[in-house]
Amino acid sequence: MRIAVCVKQVVTREWQVRINESRTWVRDEQASWELNEPDAYALEEALRLKEQHGGEVVVVSAGPSRATQVLREALARGADRAIHVAGNHLGSADAMTTAAALAGAIRTEQVDLVLTGLQSDDQGFAQVGVLLGHLLGMAHSTIVMAVEIDQSRLRVKRELEGGWFQWVSMPLPAVLTIQSGINQLRYATLKGIMAAKKKEIRKVPLPQGLKPSQRIVALALPSRSKQTQMIGGSSAQAAKELVRRLREEARAV
């Protein structure tokens, strides 16, 4: 079984975000970077499936040259080889552009399964995996909490709203977006780090004619402000008005 895992490099959660001068993205040169956490769970699930069924795990990332950092980390954790779709603008690209770039690299690999994290920690669209399924012509399922493979089919457990779950049977090949917490992450060992230096990272160009379908007009940091509102009337009237505001304005109840 050959499994492709899509990973993304995102700014670390501890870094204080600084917006660039054009106000369209963060200041890349000042940021610290890490592997997108939901993608780490997808990688771990792929490694566990490989241990159960054999095969190969290929990690794929679309981004600037610095994205090779997370590819090396994935190789150190146990992936067999890596593919880098190089493009300086891909670090902040929209979901369709990213999916098209990844699909172009994955299409030639003849994979049985494609795993992605549910969403990225920076943009959080949760659309790349869904679009990959469409572009590759594969069955797909989202918010996956468990994966069971039986020959040419698989069963996946999906997380629904309100604490409900759903089991779905699907044919292979397929694309799955993995929910964080599906497993316990492993970390790179010294042996794995040394082995990763000898593993292949193949650089591939962007598909011809690939153009962004969206662009970021402007970014702004959330503003922090405090506001006090006084509610008058009798105790009963004030309580009724408070409940209304909590329900309709604050959406807390």
Strand partners of residue 59: 5, 82
Q: Helix H segments across 198-234?
A: none
pLDDT tens digits along 40-88 = 999 999 999 999 999 999 999 999 999 999 999 999 999 999 999 988 8
Q: Is 179 exposed, middle or buried (0-12, 13-18, 19+ CB in 10 A)?
A: buried
pLDDT for the residue numbered 145: 95
Question: pTM, whole model, 2 decimals?
Answer: 0.82
Which has more confidence, 250 or 126?
A: 126
The CATH superfamily assigned to 2-204 is: HUPs (3.40.50.620)
pLDDT greater than 90 at residue 177: yes
pLDDT value, residue 17: 75
- Portions of the chain given CATH number 3.40.50.620: 2-204
Q: Among 184-193, 205-214, 226-235, whose mean pLDDT is lowest?
A: 205-214
For 192-209, what is each residue's pLDDT tens digit? 999 998 998 999 888 877
SS3 state at 37: helix
Give the pairing type, strands 165-171 and 153-159.
antiparallel
Angle between helices 37-53 and 68-77 (to 10 degrees): 40
Give dist(CA 34, CA 175) in Å, integer. Answer: 24
The token duo for 84 is 């880098």
Q: What are phi and psi of 117, to 5 degrees?
A: -70, 160
DSSP E strand stretches across the chain: 2-6, 9-11, 33-35, 56-63, 81-86, 113-117, 139-150, 153-159, 165-171, 174-178, 201-204
> Could you tell me what percent of the chain has a pLDDT over 70?
100
Amino acid identity of residue 145, one-letter, is: M
